[in-house]
Amino acid sequence: MSHPVPATLYRIAAVAGCGSAVVLLINAAKRAELIPTSAFTQLVAPLAQILALALVTALHLAVGRRTGTVGLVAFLLNWFALSALVGVEFVINLVFSDLPVETIEALRDGSLGIALTAASILFLLGSLAFVTAMLRTRELPTAPLVLYAVGVVPIALRAFVPEAILDLGLVTLAVGVAWLGIWLFGSAGRIATWKMPGTASAHREVHA
């Protein structure tokens, strides 16, 4: 049985990636008080990770699968990390925003704090592993991957970095994600329809 990944799906994932970048910029602008915090900005915040899931999945299917087991492990680690971060964003934006500081500190001192820290560490490790795997393919442009890696560091370490550094990290990550989305959209027509190993059809490679 074959499992085609047509160009249309790659383009949809690319648009999702650009949407993720827009949400990251909204988050940065909100934290920098360039735009007011509202129900809308709080609700859309977790969409950055949800939309990014589509992008990283498409990138893995497009080129990352050629890195073998190492690439697969890196992809899965990053995928689970982004999924966990969705929960973190919901807690921070939709729960903590309505609680007094004393209650938030009490929650952070308990098991919730451990869970948030674990999710942040997983996000850091998963993102760096995924970027490393993508760099090994030598098919994706290097610059957006470097921006992606640089941007995730202050976000994962948000509890330990100044607000300005966190905002800069969000913007850096947004640029990297948008760049990767644009690359994927433009390359979608040149990416092979992927089939499971063992099928008779030959694989066409990406020629970036």
DSSP 104: H
Domain membership flag for residue 1 = no
pLDDT in tens, the chain (208 residues): 445 568 889 999 999 999 999 999 999 999 888 999 898 989 899 999 999 999 999 999 888 888 888 989 999 999 999 999 888 888 888 888 778 888 888 888 888 888 888 998 999 999 999 999 999 988 899 999 999 999 999 999 988 889 999 999 999 999 999 999 999 999 888 875 544 444 444 444 444 4
Domain region containing 170: 7-190
Domain membership flag for residue 200 = no
Task: List the structure tokens of 86.
Answer: 């969705």
Cβ 184 vs Cβ 59: under 8 Å: yes
Cβ 48 vs Cβ 76: under 8 Å: no
Q: Count of CB atoms within 10 A of residue 196's CB?
A: 9
| Domain count of the fold of the chain | 1
Domain membership flag for residue 116 = yes
> For residue 122, which of 63, 183, 173, 80 has the smallest C-alpha distance?
80
pTM reported for the whole predicted model: 0.84
